Chains A and B, each alone.
Chain A
Amino acid sequence: MSGGHSAYVPKSGFGKWMDARLPLARLVYDSFVAYPVPRNLNNWYTFGAILSLMLIIQLITGIVLAMHYTPESTMAFASVEKIMRDVNYGWLLRYMHANGASFFFIAVYIHIFRGFYYGSYKNPREVLWILGVIIFILMMATGFMGYVLPWGQMSFWGATVITGFFTAIPIVGDSIHTLLLGGFAVDNPTLNRFFSLHYLLPFMIIGVVILHVWALHVTGQTNPTGVEVKSEQDTVPFTPYATMKDLLAMIVFMLVLAYFIFYMPNFLGHPDNYIEAQPLVTPAHIVPEWYYLPFYAILRAITFDIGIPFTDIVLINSKLGGVIAMFGSLLIFFVVPWLDTSKVRSAAYRPLFKQFFWIFVIVCVGLGWLGSKPAEGIYTTMSQIFTFWYFFHFIVILPVLGLVEKPKPIPASITEAVLAKTGNGDTSNANN
């Protein structure tokens, strides 16, 4: 839908000169000014822009924090305290970065669930979706390594538990574990390399984001009806319509972020991380950052060995099973485009899927809550039920629904759907 042709006409002499040599202005004009977007996009579609802004905020605050931070195990904690107390506006920069990471994840989760609801991953957007999943995984790795840097108790023990995943791998697990840590336990070498990688990964994210946006501009956006754009009537130009809408959403999102930064900067963090790392004392409850909690609950739900029934033979012990389930719960995103067999994109026209979507949302939030609870008694049982449903949703419900569900009638075009709602064809109304 972006069409083969370009609408850019250089005006100035310099513009023409440049256009014949490096058509950068043409690229920007075609991608962010003239680029046609569906006229019926709602606010759930603004989170891509919000995510781009969050990435930039993390980069800028991170680079200035790195000017004051010391990646050495005896000095790291003190250097973060120095940032908080002595560095001019250091408290602000650190709170922006720490809360920024949380809000980055809020935005990405909304963005991903938008995709689930509107079937954004379906043909022809599979590659676009896969690139998004790669970005999400890179973000998780970046956030994890960043959280290790302040070298508090949760940093240290979070790093211990998460790198411990690798010891679950049969035969080579222990060697990989030692290789990752640079020692036999989390220590200075680990901190050093995590700092190096925490600096590197965001730049890799930028690379994948560029591919993600490129893929987006090849296929065009979906929209709440799930019907592809059929004529120019169905679209409005990116500028000013989408630009302004995105800008407003960014401002609202930034206001909420600012409220956290200024009034409750430690609400999303864990108080134990203000205790310096103690390699011989494990805190009573190790909890990761909130955005990992659902995956953490899945990890802990596998408390049983999987083996051949009625024998003592264990095929997958509980530890390996937990790690497989946890990584599996993430990797399964990659194949969602092929698990969902329905031809209809948007949940708006899929009455059954819509209900299962909301059940799935509740299951994910529930897993997040369970991940913050101690791993015992009723919590473990509930985690097991929720984990079961999580996988059941992907592996059984998505494929089966596509075959048995009777979708509602689908509008012939975006314009038809909009007109049915507002009763007139005036495009000035189209963007809300």
Chain B
Amino acid sequence: MSAIDTSEPTRRDILYIATGAAGAVGVAFVAWPFIHQMNPDASTLALSTTEVDIASLEPGQSVVVKWRGKPVFIRNRTEKEIEEAKSTPIAELKDKAARNANLKDSAAEATDANRAVEGKENILLMVGVCTHLGCIPLGQQGDFGGWFCPCHGSHYDTAGRIRKGPAPENLLVPNYEFISDSVVKIG
């Protein structure tokens, strides 16, 4: 690019490179707003917690509530369901990680206890979005009596763990806490 043919870099070469670099940084700065505008806006982010009263939820009943635009399943499990989930050896699970955002240890195993919170093991609370491509699984169906996703045939067990089909992970347990005996706050 330089007008004078020398092997040494000239003042002009430095100027060209500096201008080019400043231009590239400028373009990157201008591009960012155009990309970031696509991310969730402030009003979408504002909806990030939900409170639910589950006092009337009897064993064997479920509710679906909406959290961040996604369904959340809350199921009061029956003795039988809990028993089935507990007796499943970890080795048989397709995804051995607990996928429970409430656990400090992200490598915790997907035991039944690790899928619920302590003291409330009968309550299973998880994001009702199939970890395959995002459909909503149907409750109390499929080969393992838990959830079945009709879209591409994923079967989850009574602890919401993936057992069969294309989905790679257990249904996600989001952050939640009981703020009273029957009111649960999600998010």
Question: CA separation between A178 and B39, bound complex, in Å?
Answer: 6
Whether the Cβ atoms of A282 and B40 lie closer than 8 Å is: no
> Given the complex, which residues of A lie within 8 Å of B149, measured CB to CB?
282
The interface residues of chain A lying within 8 Å CB-to-CB of B71 are: 279-280
B66 touches A282 (CB 8 A): no
| B139 vs chain A, min Cβ distance (A) | 12
Shortest C-beta distance, A143 to chain B (Å), equals: 19
Q: Does B15 sit at the interface, judged by CB under 8 A?
A: no
Which of chain B's residues have a CB closer than 8 A to the CB of A198? none
Q: Which residues of B in the span 7-51 have a Cβ within 8 Å of any Cβ on A?
A: 35, 38-41, 44
CB distance from A58 to the nearest CB of B (A): 26
Q: Does B153 contact A (CB under 8 A)?
A: yes
Kindly state whether residue B101 has any CB partner on chain A within 8 Å.
no
Chain A contributes a number of interface residues (CB within 8 A of B) equal to 40
Q: Given that A375-B153, A376-B153 are contacting pairs, would A319 and B69 also be in contact in the complex, using a CB cutoff of 8 Å?
A: no
In whole Å, how far is A200's beta carbon from the nearest beta carbon of chain B?
A: 14
Most chain A CB inside 10 Å of its own CB: which residue of B39, B129, B133, B149: B133
CA distance A185 to B137 in the complex (A): 15
A193 within 8 A of B: yes
Given contacts A179-B35, A179-B38, A317-B168, whether A281 and B136 have CB atoms under 8 Å apart is yes
Give A179 to B138 CA distance when docked, in angstroms.
28
Q: A303-B165, A319-B166, A319-B167 are in contact. Are A163 and B38 (CB under 8 A)?
A: no
Q: Is the CB of B69 within 8 A of A187?
A: yes
* Residue B185 lies at the interface, judged by CB distance under 8 Å to chain A: no
A273 proximal to B (CB < 8 A):
no
A356-B131 Cα distance, complex, nearest whole Å? 38
With A179-B38, A319-B167, A322-B166 given, is the CB distance from A280 to B136 under 8 Å? yes
CB within 8 Å of A: which B133-167 residues: 133-138, 149-153, 165-167
B132→A319 contact, CB < 8 A: yes
B70 at the A interface (CB under 8 A): yes
Interface residue? B68 (CB, 8 A)? yes
Chain B residues within an 8 Å CB radius of A283: 150
Residue of B nearest to A181 (CB): B40
Residue of B nearest to A377 (CB): B153
B151 contact from A183, A280, A286, Cβ within 8 A: A286
Contact flag A189-B166 (CB < 8 Å), given A160-B135, A184-B70: no
Q: Does A374 contact B (CB under 8 A)?
A: yes
CB of A318 within 8 A of CB of B41, answer: no
How many angstroms between the C-alpha atoms of A320 and B44 in the bound complex? 28
The interface size of chain B toward A, counting residues with CB under 8 Å, comes to: 30
Q: Does A140 interact with chain B (Cβ within 8 Å)? A: no
Q: How far is the CA of A189 from the CA of B35 in the complex (A)?
A: 14
Closest to B164 in A: A303
Contacting residues, chain A, for B69 (C-beta < 8 A): 183-185, 187, 279
Instruction: Give which listed residue, B41, B150, B167, contacts A282 with CB less than 8 A.
Output: B150
Given A193-B38, A303-B165, are A319 and B68 neighbors across the interface (CB < 8 Å)?
no
Q: Is A164 in contact with chain B by the CB < 8 A criterion? A: yes
Q: Which residue of B lies closest to A185 (CB)?
A: B69
Q: A285 on the interface (CB 8 Å rule)?
A: yes
Docked-complex contact A302 and B38, CB < 8 angstroms: no
CA distance A193 to B35 in the complex (A): 13
Min distance, Cβ B97 to any Cβ of chain A, angstroms: 12
A167–B151 contact, CB under 8 A?
A: no
Are A280 and B64 in contact (CB-based, < 8 A)? Answer: yes
Docked complex: A372-390 residues within 8 A CB-CB of B = 374-376, 380
| Residues A163 and B39 in contact in the complex (CB < 8 Å), given A182-B44, A185-B70 | no
CB proximity of B73 to chain A, nearest CB, Å:
11
Task: State how many angstroms separate the Cβ of B37 from the closest Cβ of chain A.
Answer: 9
* B168 and A319 contact, CB distance less than 8 A: yes
Q: Which residues of A contact B166 (CB under 8 A)?
A: 300, 302-303, 318-319, 322, 375
Instruction: Tell whether, in the assembled complex, residue B134 and residue A160 are in contact, meaning their CB atoms are under 8 Å apart.
Output: yes
Give chain B residues whose Cβ lies under 8 Å from the Cβ of A182.
38-41, 44
Q: From A286, which residue of chain B is reached at the shortest CB distance?
A: B151
Residues of B within 8 A of A (CB): 35, 38-41, 44, 64, 66, 68-71, 129, 131-138, 149-153, 165-168
Interface residues of chain A, those whose CB is within 8 Å of chain B, are: 157, 160-165, 167, 178-180, 182-185, 187, 189, 193, 279-286, 299-300, 302-303, 305, 317-320, 322, 374-376, 380
| A and B contact pairs by CB, cutoff 8 A, 27 listed | A157-B135, A157-B151, A161-B134, A161-B135, A164-B134, A165-B133, A178-B40, A179-B39, A182-B44, A183-B69, A185-B134, A189-B44, A279-B71, A280-B66, A280-B71, A281-B136, A286-B135, A286-B150, A300-B152, A302-B166, A318-B166, A319-B132, A319-B167, A322-B166, A374-B153, A375-B152, A376-B153
